[in-house]
């Protein structure tokens, strides 16, 4: 293994790109129908590409217990409610700055993996990556691998896209977008982290003796963090100059944090993945039309007679 300063592609990736540029069959992760659909829209497969980073995310703390800082009492359970200030990814300055650092570390992992994938796309002379898969794998001790991989495609025409694009959408859906007058701009990640104190009402509702009942504090927590993650997703999509965004998935993780003996909070992380898209025509009608439906009879033979 050779030394690497962390800039650009790792040595193993550079060697793989050199083999790809040398010729031979181009690898593809697309389905047969997806690849054929893209070929019909003027794109050919350049090869498989990937990017990864192993990121250590240390515990930053969040300034104490989640009991304070919520901005007053609320109707849900009679305890402190989750207020907008706890959604640290919205940029608000508040006591939960530790979770702000945690959210930024997650963004750095996703963004770096995607950027290195696009470096490989550029080295192959391609114009974008379709069918991107994002994976996060825990390696223990706070270490996580962020992995992005997909299929690089190249435009046939002399007029090439100005910037490299990336999308989670499969080949068939990208072809439908192009036929409808839309182009993918960038894969986009939006996430949010929030904390809520387990007050007396929450503990009572969540106990084994409460029967079948809603835990209103937890409902409030997950609704808040999902809503904020969607807002972050649309904010980052707008930053790419997109006209719209297609949300592909939303995931949720919730864990318990014990801040003192018999005293705990719950933390929630919501992540939204999708594609920012832009319109490339202003007419009401799409630039391409659907295929005509062909009749199953011989047009030269009158109806009711055998050919």
Residue 198 confidence (pLDDT):
82
pLDDT band (50, 70, 90) for residue 6: low
Give CA separation, 76 vs 106, 161, 219, 253, in Å: 31, 51, 10, 22
Output the average pLDDT for the chain. Answer: 77
Exposed/middle/buried for 64, CB within 10 Å: 0-12, 13-18, 19+? middle
Q: What residue spans define the domains of the chain? A: 27-279
DSSP SS3 for 136 = strand
Residue 2 confidence (pLDDT):
56
The Cα 107–Cα 113 span in angstroms is: 10
Q: What is the pTM of this model?
A: 0.77
Q: Is the pLDDT of residue 76 over 50?
A: no
* 157-190 pLDDT, tens digit each: 777 777 899 999 999 999 999 988 899 999 999 9
Residue 109 confidence (pLDDT):
94
The Cα 110–Cα 251 span in angstroms is: 15
Q: Is the pLDDT of residue 284 over 90?
A: no
* 184-223 pLDDT, tens digit each: 999 999 998 888 878 778 877 888 777 888 888 888 888 9
Percentage of the chain beyond pLDDT 70 is 69
Residue 167 confidence (pLDDT):
96
Give CA separation, 290 vs 37, 105, 174, in Å: 13, 45, 15
Residue 37 confidence (pLDDT):
92
Assigned superfamily of 27-279: Hypothetical protein apc22750. Chain B (3.30.110.70)
Residue 77 per-residue DSSP state: T
Q: State mean pLDDT over 231-239.
A: 92
* 82-131 pLDDT, tens digit each: 444 344 444 444 444 457 778 888 999 999 999 999 999 998 889 999 99
pLDDT band (50, 70, 90) for residue 3: low
Alpha helices in the chain (DSSP H): 11-21, 32-40, 97-123, 171-179, 200-206, 216-239
């Amino acid at each position: 293994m050779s030394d690497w300063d962390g800039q650009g592609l790792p040595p193993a990736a550079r060697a793989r790109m050199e083999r790809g540029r040398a010729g031979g069959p181009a690898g593809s992760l697309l389905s047969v129908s997806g690849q054929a659909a893209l070929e019909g829209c003027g794109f050919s497969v350049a090869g498989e590409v990937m990017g990864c980073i192993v990121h250590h995310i240390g515990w930053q703390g969040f300034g104490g217990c989640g009991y304070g800082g919520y901005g007053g009492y609320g109707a849900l359970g009679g305890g402190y409610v989750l207020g907008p200030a706890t959604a640290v990814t919205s940029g608000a300055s508040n006591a939960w700055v530790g979770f702000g650092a945690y959210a930024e570390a997650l963004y750095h992992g996703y963004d770096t993996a995607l950027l290195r994938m696009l470096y490989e796309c550029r080295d192959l002379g391609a114009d974008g990556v379709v069918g991107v898969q994002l994976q996060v794998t825990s390696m223990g001790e706070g270490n996580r691998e962020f992995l992005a991989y997909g299929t690089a495609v190249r435009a046939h025409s002399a007029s090439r896209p100005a910037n490299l694009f990336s999308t989670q959408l499969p080949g068939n859906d990208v072809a439908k977008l192009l036929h409808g007058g839309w182009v993918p701009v960038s894969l986009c990640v939006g996430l949010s982290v929030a904390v809520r104190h387990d007050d007396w009402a929450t503990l009572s509702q969540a106990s084994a003796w409460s029967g079948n009942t809603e835990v209103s504090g937890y409902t409030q927590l997950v609704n808040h963090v999902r809503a904020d993650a969607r807002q972050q997703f649309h904010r980052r999509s707008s930053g790419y100059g997109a006209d719209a965004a297609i949300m592909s998935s939303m995931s949720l993780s919730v864990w318990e944090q014990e801040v003192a003996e018999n005293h705990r909070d719950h933390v929630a992380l919501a992540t939204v993945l999708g594609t920012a898209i832009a319109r490339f025509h202003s007419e009401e009608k799409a630039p391409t039309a659907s295929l005509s439906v062909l009749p199953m009879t011989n047009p030269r033979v009158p109806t009711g007679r055998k050919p």
